[in-house]
Amino acid sequence: MSNTAQQNAMANAVRSLSMDAVEKANSGHPGLPMGCADIATVLFTKVMKFDPADAKWPDRDRFVLSAGHGSMLLYSALYLLGYADMTIEEIKNFRQLGSRTAGHPEHGFAQGIETTTGPLGQGIANGVGMALAEAKLEAEFGPDLVDHHTWVLCGDGCLMEGISQEAIALAGHLRLNKLTLIWDNNGITIDGAVSNADSTDQIARFAAVGWNTIAIDGHDQVAIEEALRKARNSDRPTLIAARTTIGFGAPKKAGTEKVHGSPLGAEELAAAKQALGIDYPAFEIPADLLSAWRAAGQRSANVRGDWQSRLAVADKALASEFERRTAGDLNAAYAQAVDAFKHKLAEDKPKLASRKSSQNALEVINGALPETIGGSADLTGSNFTDTSQTKPFTAEDRNGRYIRYGIREHAMAAVMNGIALHGGLIPYGGTFLTFTDYARPAIRLSALMEQRVIYVMTHDSIGLGEDGPTHQPVEHIASLRAIPHLLVLRPADATETLECWQIAIETADRPSILALSRQNLPAVRTEYVKENLSARGAYTIAGKEDADAVIFATGSEVAIAIDGMKQLAEQGISARVVSVPSLELFNLQPEDYRARVIGKPKARVAVEAGIGLSWDKLLGDRGRFVGMHSFGASGPIDKLYEHFGITAKAVVEAVTAQL
Ligand SMILES: Cc1ncc(C[n+]2csc(CCOP(=O)(O)OP(=O)(O)O)c2C)c(N)n1
């Protein structure tokens, strides 16, 4: 077989498996895998650096299938390359419950799936985060240990999504030259021709944000290889616009939306196989083809061996730090530093906005942990996300550890996902809590992928004052609590803020949102306690165990609840205040602890300057909620709390109404 014929046959193996798997599942997207099979064949068998024998090798190239609906492209390649957990059985079980081959690629389901994709455009931003992490770690550990490339394959849909603009503009600005975006330029989406809805000159668009651009025929494997190699040596991120035919090979459906997201059907499938020269049965890749793919899978084994040798002879301290960082473990200095700081807070009892307490905690954490990489979506001076250690990461200086994300909340969150997925770094980033709405799709994916991404969300209530209802979160905390696996942390004072930071840093498999106040908060925790009480989710902060009333409160409202408790005492009514920095963590506590904290009071009240949705369970039928029932308003903070009835007096009334 000629070289060209062999390469075509290898690409057809991807097409064959993809067509068959979609057909068997009677569900899925054959168009993209068939259209991008040539690209995948060249990328995986000739250009990319990876080793199925050690899928997590830290210096592997990363591949992101941003157009996640084309998942069979990735699954076929992983099987053909010899990833142990991507068996032919998994391919046959495409889209079945419990299989590794989910409808869209899910991180953690199989080796070689670097990120969960499906919501279009996210993968582009994840790739930016991975390339950013690579550049930062290369600067820190040197190219002997860190020198790899990030490849992202996207479709027209990814490029239409707004997040793509945020992400590519950031990548161009930061000159992330080890990032290549291959655009499956097939001119088709679900509703038909791209031209029905879009007429962007994508080449001009990418050039405008500082990218190198290359346009090729995406079925010409020689041109593909040349473009990929050029991209790898570029001084800027590169767009490869690869003109392809969706469903390549399907005689009637190729080039149309009919092949985007439905099985070909028996007749068209047989005709496609005939047209492509695929003469072997479904799921049975001939031995010579499979061994050619498997050999390609082994290509970088020596490169990995050389890398391991370099790690073995590297400076001992550098190598062990590299290993700690890639494992995601914390160092001993961190635990000592935060405990010392906790002692200091108990002594000082500072009255500070929790956003300021957060910055103080971060100063200590960043001092101990070089792996934190901070940033803000242009609100650094409000979020207080910078510390003395955080000089900016820029196109010129890769040693910095602060990302100026610009006004790009959505990309910030998805880039942080990419950084976390890459490994070796712990990303945190800030904006106003109300703008979590602008980042929510990526926050949801942080949670779905179980990544340690830390969202520093300040200005967490009407307490922000004069900026008014556009900026005042009301439903946000409740709606974020609705995202499974996300930790929502709302600390009441400086000590709780430190504890919440500890939770966020020490929880390697969950993202955290820190909801922080703009306004000053008095110290409500005045004694040093070694245990991280916030990690219990909720605990009694004031009052006696057998009190008649229990007042649950979070963040800035804990002090109001304590005032209410004191006023109740003057009336001879005993009350207890429970601080609830995290409802999620409280729900995870053993039943006896929960029962003890909740108690059997005659009156139950919850106080939170947001909507009451989260509190129904703790309040039961009779309990009362003191909080927001509408949007906020523009005005000074004390007037707003009064106006919306979030006061100690309101707490007292809510209690007495139940007695
Ligand atoms: C955020 C988001 N919106 C909508 C969808 C549903 N969707 C999946 S694929 C697709 C069309 C994508 O077109 P294109 O990227 O050109 O893919 P191709 O048709 O070439 O496979 C749409 C709208 C999605 N997955 N994510």
> Residue 434 carries which DSSP code?
G
Say what percent of the chain tops pLDDT 70.
100
Q: Are 398 and 137 in contact (CB under 8 A)?
A: no
Residue 141 identity: F
Paired residues of 374 in beta bridges: 402
pLDDT for 1 beyond 90: no
pLDDT at 365: 98
Is the distance from the beta carbon of residue 175 to the nearest atom of ligand 1 less than 6 Å? no
186 lines ligand 1 (CB under 6 A): yes
% of the chain surpassing 90 pLDDT: 100
- Mutate-to-test residue for ligand 1 from 104, 120, 181, 182, highest number of ligand atoms within 8 A of CB: 120
Give the predicted TM-score (pTM) of the model. 0.98
Is the pLDDT assigned to residue 2 strictly greater than 90?
A: no
Residue 457 near residue 430 (C-beta atoms within 8 A): yes
Q: What pLDDT does 369 receive? A: 98
Q: Per-residue pLDDT averaged across 27-39, rounded? A: 98
Q: Catalytic one among 140, 409, 496, 608?
A: 409
* Ligand 1 atom closest to the CA of 35, numbered from 1: 20
Distance 50 CA to ligand 1 centre (A): 28
Is 628:613 a contact under the CB 8 Å cutoff? no
Q: Which of 165, 247, 493 is nearest to 355 (CA)?
A: 493
Give per-residue pLDDT as tens, 376-408.
999 999 999 999 999 999 999 999 999 999 999
With bands split at pLDDT 50, 70 and 90, how would you rate the model's confidence at 10? Answer: very high
- 119-131 pLDDT, tens digit each: 999 999 999 999 9
- Alpha-carbon span 100 to 370, nearest angstrom: 35
Contact status, residue 458 vs residue 433, Cβ threshold 8 Å: yes
- The CA 196 to ligand 1 mean position distance, Å, reads 14
The first and second tokens of residue 126, run together, are 């994840």
DSSP per-residue codes, 150-211? EEEEE-HHHHHSHHHHHHHHHHHHTT-TTEEEEEEE-SEETTEEGGGT----HHHHHHHTT-
Maximum CA pair distance of the chain?
A: 94
Rounded to the nearest whole angstrom, what is the distance from the C-alpha of residue 482 to the centroid of ligand 1? 26
Sign, CA dihedral 222-227-232-235, equals: positive
Looking at residue 244, its pLDDT comes to: 98
Q: Judging by beta carbons within 10 Å of its beta carbon (0-12, 13-18, 19+), is residue 205 exposed, middle or buried?
A: middle
H-assigned helices in 110-155: 122-141
Report d(CA 185, CA 159) in Å as an integer. Answer: 10
Average pLDDT over residues 54-77: 98
Average pLDDT over residues 462-484: 98
Q: What is the mean pLDDT of residues 221-245?
A: 98
Q: What is the pLDDT averaged over residues 470-496?
A: 98
DSSP assignment string, 595-635: HHHH---SEEEEEESS-SGGGHHHHTTT-EEEE-SS---SS
347 catalytic per annotation: no
**Which sign does the torsion angle of CA 251, 255, 256, 261 carry?**
positive
Q: How confident is the model at residue 352 (pLDDT cuts 50, 70, 90)?
A: very high
**Long-range contacts from 53-59, C-beta under 8 angstroms, 24+ separation:** 53/298, 53/301, 53/304, 54/304, 55/83, 55/111, 55/112, 56/111, 57/304, 57/307, 58/145, 58/146, 58/322, 58/326, 58/423, 58/424, 59/145, 59/146, 59/147, 59/148, 59/304, 59/307
The closest alpha carbon to 162, from 443, 441, 457, 471, belongs to 441
Q: What is residue 519's predicted lDDT score, i.e. its pLDDT?
A: 98
Considering Cα of 554, then 560, then 563, then 565, what sign does the dihedral take? Answer: negative
**pLDDT tens-digit profile of 516-561?**
999 999 999 999 999 999 999 999 999 999 999 999 999 999 999 9
Kindly report the average pLDDT of the chain as a whole number.
98
Tell whether ligand 1 has an atom less than 6 A from the beta carbon of residue 218.
Answer: no
CA distances from 265 to 11, 269, 279 (A): 21, 6, 18
Residues 278-327: pLDDT tens digits? 999 999 999 999 999 999 999 999 999 999 999 999 999 999 999 999 99
Closest CA to 251 of 280, 271, 222: 271
Using the mean position of ligand 1's atoms as its centre, give its distance from the Cα of residue 168 in Å.
19
| Helices marked H in 245-331 | 266-276, 287-298, 301-313, 316-327
